[in-house]
Amino acid sequence: MFDLLLKGSVVLPDRIIEDGWVAVRGERIGAIGTGEAPQATKMIDAGTDWIIPGIVDGQTHATSYKGLPGFEATSQSALAGGITTMVDMPYDNPDPLNTLERFDAKVQAVHDYSHCDVALYGTVAPGQGTDLMQPLADRGICAFKLSLIESHPVRFPRIPADEILDILTASVPTGLPVGLHNEDQEIVRAMIERHKAQGLTRPEHNETSRPEVAELSATAQFMELGAATGAHVHIVHLSSPRGLQMIAEYAARGVRATGELCVHYLHFDAARDIERLGARMKVSPPIRSGMIEDLWQACEDGLPALISSDHSSWPIDNKLAASIFDAGAGIPGLETLGPSFYTDAAERYGEEGAVRRLVDYMCLKPAEFFGLAPRKGAIAAGADADLVVLKRGPKPFDASQTRDGLNWSPYDGETFTASVATTVRRGEIAWDGAQILSTAGSGAFIPRN
Amino acid sequence: MFDLLLKGSVVLPDRIIEDGWVAVRGERIGAIGTGEAPQATKMIDAGTDWIIPGIVDGQTHATSYKGLPGFEATSQSALAGGITTMVDMPYDNPDPLNTLERFDAKVQAVHDYSHCDVALYGTVAPGQGTDLMQPLADRGICAFKLSLIESHPVRFPRIPADEILDILTASVPTGLPVGLHNEDQEIVRAMIERHKAQGLTRPEHNETSRPEVAELSATAQFMELGAATGAHVHIVHLSSPRGLQMIAEYAARGVRATGELCVHYLHFDAARDIERLGARMKVSPPIRSGMIEDLWQACEDGLPALISSDHSSWPIDNKLAASIFDAGAGIPGLETLGPSFYTDAAERYGEEGAVRRLVDYMCLKPAEFFGLAPRKGAIAAGADADLVVLKRGPKPFDASQTRDGLNWSPYDGETFTASVATTVRRGEIAWDGAQILSTAGSGAFIPRN
Amino acid sequence: MFDLLLKGSVVLPDRIIEDGWVAVRGERIGAIGTGEAPQATKMIDAGTDWIIPGIVDGQTHATSYKGLPGFEATSQSALAGGITTMVDMPYDNPDPLNTLERFDAKVQAVHDYSHCDVALYGTVAPGQGTDLMQPLADRGICAFKLSLIESHPVRFPRIPADEILDILTASVPTGLPVGLHNEDQEIVRAMIERHKAQGLTRPEHNETSRPEVAELSATAQFMELGAATGAHVHIVHLSSPRGLQMIAEYAARGVRATGELCVHYLHFDAARDIERLGARMKVSPPIRSGMIEDLWQACEDGLPALISSDHSSWPIDNKLAASIFDAGAGIPGLETLGPSFYTDAAERYGEEGAVRRLVDYMCLKPAEFFGLAPRKGAIAAGADADLVVLKRGPKPFDASQTRDGLNWSPYDGETFTASVATTVRRGEIAWDGAQILSTAGSGAFIPRN
Amino acid sequence: MFDLLLKGSVVLPDRIIEDGWVAVRGERIGAIGTGEAPQATKMIDAGTDWIIPGIVDGQTHATSYKGLPGFEATSQSALAGGITTMVDMPYDNPDPLNTLERFDAKVQAVHDYSHCDVALYGTVAPGQGTDLMQPLADRGICAFKLSLIESHPVRFPRIPADEILDILTASVPTGLPVGLHNEDQEIVRAMIERHKAQGLTRPEHNETSRPEVAELSATAQFMELGAATGAHVHIVHLSSPRGLQMIAEYAARGVRATGELCVHYLHFDAARDIERLGARMKVSPPIRSGMIEDLWQACEDGLPALISSDHSSWPIDNKLAASIFDAGAGIPGLETLGPSFYTDAAERYGEEGAVRRLVDYMCLKPAEFFGLAPRKGAIAAGADADLVVLKRGPKPFDASQTRDGLNWSPYDGETFTASVATTVRRGEIAWDGAQILSTAGSGAFIPRN
């Protein structure tokens, strides 16, 4: 007698079982089968809809606006988006996660507020030294994050190259990847000043003020620091195919180099969408023009390590500025991550092709990357019972109904061809397609293993 | 209530479930789980031993000696070796499989004699034309086989380059790979004549009379024919890393090129073993000296498409000749394929590394390659219940106890670190580690899908 | 006081001296200068016309029709084409150059009949063995020639792969390149038979009966034999860019691999010209359709080792056959080699670009390749005074006026944008733009150094 | 009747004429020959010694210490080192060459003080903008120079990345290369501070404080800026093979990327020489340990664009500091450039191999690179009569006898296997092996053509 049984088209790592079922015992998957199913206390029959693993969103900023209590709304939005594990960035409000105290506080906040599971990035402040890196790694953070450009002097500072070198060196014994926000500060700041001086402050000037070369030169610099130290160097978002290609070239000559894509780069095009969306699509690095098809090809070539949302918890007020340079960067993305990717992929590869790629880039790969496998990322006997029913068929996306407490989105009004009908998080039905059924604090901190 | 339950360390395509079970209903796998298991009529508890998919041996010559009744002994030997599907070569005694009549007769022989499942290669005789290739493909053969060297004028003839070109062209709409025995006839025959003329007819002269260049030039020629036609060109056995590398280079520039490794090239070394084994280790292309480590590295680099036994049903009399050039080429290999690979791999990668690689190269990859997946090659709900208990621990190999009707082997007297304790073929316990329990004709022909 | 002075635009290996002069003392160049010139017994003032080194034609068949006396007319035609050194192939009528006796006879014939200098290829007959290769190399032949297809059983036989392997092995200590006529005999012969059987015997069927794959598979086979032996393997004519690319790939991995282009592949296009020219443009390998631009690009990429004429001394009767398969292959080319290349190159790269490329591919490179430098191939103090005045300006080409004793050409009636106004061979004015002024036997055998 | 005749082993771009001569008329080479020579007013018979083109030193700092009058001593030292053209860096004392006025003043200084010919780099000051780049190019500067590290706030400042981007963009229509001093300022400065803080201030700490990664990351950053703009990006000194390799990889994907080697990196080894030489071998980037053989191999692979001296006019006082970080960087190098390279090359490649490589990397290549060919860099009729007699045979190097006004050198006391016996600069015998015979101001400014 199992506790829960899901029936449907079960998407396993290597195949899809059309007439499949997944049986849950407690928090874990007990069995996977086809045909006659065992008995269970509860049963969800998804028919021919997809049953996929809970999505592992490799990049979120849950607590960068409201601080640690921000987990409450954000984690509900995650579950509504089929995300059962968020990998949260360290740039918390008011202080980043760079000490053991802040680590402990953030883990406590997960246990107090979060509805979904959470893995954590750590960081190192300028001048801090590297002494806490190993202790943080020992407590289970899954990666470190740095930036070559300052967005905020305390939470999101620029780290000088010599300190990056130290941090990379110190990261090697931890085995953890070191992620980088890859924009050259001198280029970006000077370009913005020039734009401002010329009165070029409309939304379309965001792209021109943050040129691709600012990304590529920062990326190349970081790759060389990685090559010199043997560290795992990871670019947390690349807006163009050339960056992914560069990383592949470094990897081919033995550098532990990886790069990540965010789903909005696969969906929006600056030339096409900027007039309509304005600051609503401002992210950093910016969404560029004419990149979409080559980025999809890069995915087909296996170049990204994973695809994430880079969800930011900014209210829309943050976007309403006369100058694009005064508007905040970052967009909400938890409830659109899976459906947007699926919709765009299905146009190119059909529905089965879409769901396979979604599971690959948003479940299997991020779980492996952040050391959360074999618990997370796959439907497998013994794994955590993180399961999502992905319902096939068109559904309009209405941002006013999102659970992130923000209620706006650049995707507002689009129609996706799949929607999240059920989310099971460690055996508990946490989202039923209409309501969040879990309680705050039911989420857990998942240490890297 | 299932029909059969196996418990143990279950080796899935992407992970190993330590405390796992596989439940069988009829001929198929019904469920896979961990922890408390469902009830079943029969139960095999393998403890911590490995439960792997039945091996798909991609290259056997079951009926080249005794003719079609040869299936009877050979298929029992297969089961004793954990092989549930043989991909049998077309060079049958007395006639090769190049017509629909012979196809029908061979399928009938499977149903009359075979204990294991069988997929079939077809061939084309010199001068025959290509008209029967599509009909043979329609009936379910999984590949075509050709040779650039004549071993027997009727069964194993050399096909001229212009006819190979026609055959490759005709293969494209079938989608089937065309396998090649890759030795240049002019070079090999001339070299043998020279050796004979000089009285150099000892076993070690087999290697020198069939130099690597005879393989490589035939391989390059075939690759170019493949490049010109768009056909899938497959080399059925490469004895050296350079050939695998060449194929990778052709593949990198878009040719549908693959190459296969046989397990004996990973185990024997001519310089080390020829004095001890003599003609017992004669195969074609020959086992060379000093190749083993680079071939293992090629496997780590993912170069071979699959690894097979190239089992030949020659009695030992066939080897007892004064001159190495009069000894038959080919060795029995069904009962040593898995254990030999596992033993050698475990020395390099540990036991878990060994079993993962075995399942990859001998189950998953050949099943995909020959179009037998998703029925064959993996433990998955809905797949055929072809299951093997691979018992961990040393066991001496005694060729006199083999079930192939030949009772000799170059591996005789070696100790392997794993043995086949149970073989389940489509739900039936066909081998219990001591006895064949299945009946002749219980095997089935498996068409390419 | 010099014996001869030429003034004009002197084309040196690295630059062009606009107001230059070359002063000759005896058979050698004594000085090169600009401005005020020294005194000399004779003076030729070429104004702004080019003064280039005598062309080294890397592939001629001077004596394959008329036998050794064939040198007389052929060498006069060479001089009229600005060629001061022919590298002559060994397929003489009635016997090829594969013994010391035939070498001596051919050298004697040079001294009896030739007006231009001559370097010699040797060959090896099937079954002959390799004993004479070193003695022939010691006497000064500059390369060996083989074929994988039989055109004539005695003079132009196919060499089996095992013997090629022996020949390549024996060539290594000589240091000489081994040239190959690269067509697969089985493919070409079978294709021709099929064409004949279907009545497809018009000129355009020459191309289809000798497909590119016949070249490429023979080339790949030969490259592998070269890789195994360490020999310098040279393809004497490639009709398509892919072959040149393949050779570059082998060279990049350390094989001593080179390939040659003939000028007609850069000028004629089968699709465009076959109706007009018919058998007049039959060569082997055939001129193909749509290759010209990619072959010029291959030259820009530096892929060919040199560019030659492959001049054949067939009378036009040899071409007049009802079936293209009965027409002889080969065309006269000595008097069109330089002008044709210059004309086509000038359209692409301008006149200075044309003359630089001509000197590079037809003087410097072949002289280096065949070991004739530093005597041949460049205008340099101390080098042989082989000098050509290449007159700029249009000139119609009238094949009836050629000196080759054949008086036909596929180029007949074309207008070239440069013509050979003077040819100086080792200090002697041998051609004045209208008359041959040298005597038979004034040419010399030039050994490889 | 010529004005000057030199006889000897004349090293031409493509060959050496053993019994050669070069005849000079006025400032230019009138003729080159072999054998009987024409008459001339003066004659120098070098016997079997080498006659090479005047060396073009691609990187000197003639006026960075004494200001523009610094040309006087430096240019005499150049001539004594066989250098007839210096390509002088713009970091003059007290102001760099970044305006037309300073250009004019520097050209005037050449005409007032210099004994040798001079080509000029220009630069751009931080914040200056790019308006003067084209005018400077129009007046004939041959390249621009920038740095990513500040050595002096006015003369040798760091240029921010955004301004480098502007400068590269503006360089494209000029066609000029933009050279970079490639060290990351943040890394180097932080490392030096750490060394100082730990009291690690001995000479060997120069290497550890300027790690290879500081070079490589700056190089990669600059390459990406080049890739984005289409500019010709040139690294003016690379201390390790990896940098040269990186540049080759960028060049292979179409970036106009080049890199330069300085001769001291081919001669000194930090681990071997630092104790003996101390601050006397301090240059930036530093001479490293264990690089020499791989750098020679890089030269054999053709990776450097040219090899220069990076001559700096620092008096020895500048080196005498308690801390290595207080010692000046840079060494005198004009009189050792050619002899040191020749000596080291001759050990590896013999004397003829040495002189060919010297002429290639120090005459032909820099003259082409800086747009000084065809006047400079080669012995050719019509070229400037810049000629050097390189005397074969051992000669100890005594720094106290140098003409650079500095009279110290890290090479002091070494024995070279060639010496500069005569230097002819535009037809004038300017150095006779013992005395400077030319007058100040006899040198000329050579504009890029």
Nearest CB to B213 within list C186, C212, C228: C228
Enumerate residues 248 to 267 of chain D having a beta carbon within 8 A of any beta carbon in chain A.
Answer: 249
How sure is the predictor about A301, in pLDDT bands with cuts at 50, 70 and 90?
very high
* Cβ neighbours of residue B104 closer than 8 Å, sequence gap 6 or more: none
Please name the residue of chain D whose CA is at the shortest distance from the CA of residue A210.
Answer: D162
How sure is the predictor about A313, in pLDDT bands with cuts at 50, 70 and 90?
confident
Which chains contact A through at least 3 pairs of Cβ atoms less than 8 Å apart? B, D
- pLDDT recorded at residue D217: 98
Q: Which residues of B touch A10 (CB under 8 A)?
A: 381
Q: Which residues of D touch C22 (CB under 8 A)?
A: none
CA distance A231 to A243: 19
CA distance B396 to B419: 9
Q: Which residues of A touch D213 (CB under 8 A)?
A: 165, 224-225, 227-229
Measured between its terminal Cα atoms, the distance across chain A in Å is: 31
- pLDDT recorded at residue C380: 98
Query: In this complex, how many residue pairs, one in chain C and one in chain D, have their CB atoms less than 8 Å apart?
Result: 79
Please name the residue of chain C whose CA is at the shortest distance from the CA of residue D33.
Answer: C31
Is the CB of D186 less than 8 angstroms away from the CB of A161?
A: yes
Question: Tens place of pLDDT for every residue, chain B, 449 residues?
Answer: 899 999 999 999 999 999 999 999 999 999 999 999 999 999 999 999 999 999 999 999 999 999 999 999 999 999 999 999 999 999 999 999 999 999 999 999 999 999 999 999 999 999 999 999 999 999 999 999 999 999 999 889 999 999 999 999 999 999 999 999 999 999 999 999 999 999 999 999 999 999 999 999 999 999 999 999 999 999 999 999 999 999 999 999 999 999 999 999 999 999 999 999 999 999 999 999 999 999 999 999 999 999 999 999 889 999 989 999 999 999 999 999 999 999 999 999 999 999 999 999 999 999 999 999 999 999 999 999 999 999 999 999 999 999 999 999 999 999 999 999 999 999 999 999 999 999 999 999 999 99
Nearest CB to A217 within list D163, D216, D221: D221
**One-letter amino acid of D153:** P
Residue A395 CB-density burial (10 A; 0-12 exposed, 13-18 middle, 19+ buried) = middle
Which chains contact B through at least 3 pairs of Cβ atoms less than 8 Å apart? A, C
Check if D101 contacts A (Cβ < 8 Å): no
Q: Which residues of A touch B36 (CB under 8 A)?
A: 25, 30
B near C: at least 3 beta-carbon pairs less than 8 Å apart: yes
Is the CB of B221 less than 8 angstroms away from the CB of C223?
A: no
Identify whether B241 is preceded by a cis peptide bond (ω within 30 of 0).
no
Check if A374 contacts B (Cβ < 8 Å): yes
Question: Over 90: is that where the pLDDT of A13 sits?
Answer: yes
- pLDDT recorded at residue B155: 87
Structure tokens at A306: 């994973």
The alpha-carbon gap from C35 to the nearest alpha carbon of chain D, in Å, equals 7
Residue A396 CB-density burial (10 A; 0-12 exposed, 13-18 middle, 19+ buried) = exposed
Burial A304-319 (b: 16+ CB within 10 A, else e): bbbbbbbbbbbeeebb
Please name the residue of chain A whose CA is at the shortest distance from the CA of residue D217.
Answer: A221
Which chains contact D through at least 3 pairs of Cβ atoms less than 8 Å apart? A, C
Q: Which residues of B touch A33 (CB under 8 A)?
A: 23, 30-33, 381
Instruction: State the average pLDDT for chain D.
Output: 97
Check if D225 contacts A (Cβ < 8 Å): yes
Q: Classify the C-alpha dihedral B195-B273-B420-A378 as positive or negative.
A: negative
Question: Over 90: is that where the pLDDT of D233 sits?
Answer: yes
Q: Which residues of C touch B211 (CB under 8 A)?
A: 228
How sure is the predictor about D113, in pLDDT bands with cuts at 50, 70 and 90?
very high
Q: Which residues of D touch C30 (CB under 8 A)?
A: 33-36
Q: Which residues of D touch C5 (CB under 8 A)?
A: none
Check if C302 contacts D (Cβ < 8 Å): no
pLDDT, tens digit (0-9, with 9 covering 90-100), for B337-389 = 999 999 999 999 999 999 999 999 999 999 999 999 999 999 999 999 999 99
Check if D191 contacts A (Cβ < 8 Å): yes
For residues A242-263, give the mean pLDDT: 97
Closest among D122, D213, D216, D102 to D170, alpha carbons compared = D122
CA distance D190 to B331: 67
Is the CB of C217 less than 8 angstroms away from the CB of B221?
A: yes
Is the CB of B187 less than 8 angstroms away from the CB of C161?
A: yes
Burial C29-42 (b: 16+ CB within 10 A, else e): bbbbbbbebbebee
Percent residues over pLDDT 70 in chain D:
100
Nearest CB to D13 within list C13, C19, C23: C13
Please name the residue of chain D whose CA is at the shortest distance from the CA of residue C377.
Answer: D14
CA distance C363 to C371: 12
Closest among C146, C142, C174, C179 to C160, alpha carbons compared = C146
pLDDT, tens digit (0-9, with 9 covering 90-100), for A109-135 = 999 999 999 999 999 999 999 999 999
Which chains contact C through at least 3 pairs of Cβ atoms less than 8 Å apart? B, D
Q: Classify the C-alpha dihedral C431-C434-C436-C437 as positive or negative.
A: negative
Check if C39 contacts D (Cβ < 8 Å): no
Is the CB of A380 less than 8 angstroms away from the CB of B28?
A: no
CA distance A26 to C187: 68
Enumerate residues 129 to 168 of chain C having a beta carbon within 8 A of any beta carbon in chain B.
Answer: 160-163, 165
The alpha-carbon gap from D390 to the nearest alpha carbon of chain C, in Å, equals 20
Instruction: State the average pLDDT for chain C.
Output: 97
- pLDDT recorded at residue B313: 87
Per the listing, tokens 């492996």 go with A368
Interface probe for A, chosen from D169, D187, D247, D249 (most Cβ of A below 10 Å), is D187
ipTM, two decimals: 0.95
Q: D2-51+379-394+415-431 with D54-369: one CATH topology?
A: no
Interface probe for D, chosen from A167, A183, A194, A221 (most Cβ of D below 10 Å), is A221
Instruction: Please report, for chain B, the start and end positions of each structural domain, with discontinuous segments joined by +.
Output: 2-51+379-394+415-431, 54-369
Is the CB of D228 less than 8 angstroms away from the CB of A212?
A: yes
- pLDDT recorded at residue D155: 87
What DSSP string runs through D149-205? S-SBTTTBPPPPHHHHHHHHHHHHHHT-EEEEE---HHHHHHHHHHHHHTT--STTH
For residues A272-298, give the mean pLDDT: 97
Nearest CB to D186 within list A160, A224, A229: A160
Closest among B76, B10, B12, B68 to B37, alpha carbons compared = B10
CATH architecture of A54-369: Alpha-Beta Barrel (3.20)
Q: Which residues of A touch B14 (CB under 8 A)?
A: 13-14, 364, 378, 380
pLDDT, tens digit (0-9, with 9 covering 90-100), for B233-261 = 999 999 999 999 999 999 999 999 999 99
Q: Which residues of D touch A217 (CB under 8 A)?
A: 161, 220-221, 224-225, 228
Check if B380 contacts A (Cβ < 8 Å): yes
Please name the residue of chain D whose CA is at the shortest distance from the CA of residue A159.
Answer: D186
pLDDT, tens digit (0-9, with 9 covering 90-100), for C287-337 = 999 999 999 999 999 999 999 999 998 899 999 899 999 999 999 999 999
Check if D211 contacts A (Cβ < 8 Å): yes
Nearest CB to B13 within list A10, A14, A38: A14
CA distance C96 to A340: 74
The alpha-carbon gap from A349 to the nearest alpha carbon of chain B, in Å, equals 20
Interface probe for A, chosen from B15, B301, B359, B363 (most Cβ of A below 10 Å), is B15
**One-letter amino acid of C147:** S
Residue C282 CB-density burial (10 A; 0-12 exposed, 13-18 middle, 19+ buried) = buried
Per the listing, tokens 């899935």 go with B12
Check if B36 contacts A (Cβ < 8 Å): yes
Nearest CB to B30 within list A29, A34, A378: A34
Is the CB of D30 less than 8 angstroms away from the CB of C36?
A: yes
- Select from 2.30.40.10, 3.30.70.270, 3.40.1670.10, 3.40.50.2000 the CATH code of B2-51+379-394+415-431: 2.30.40.10
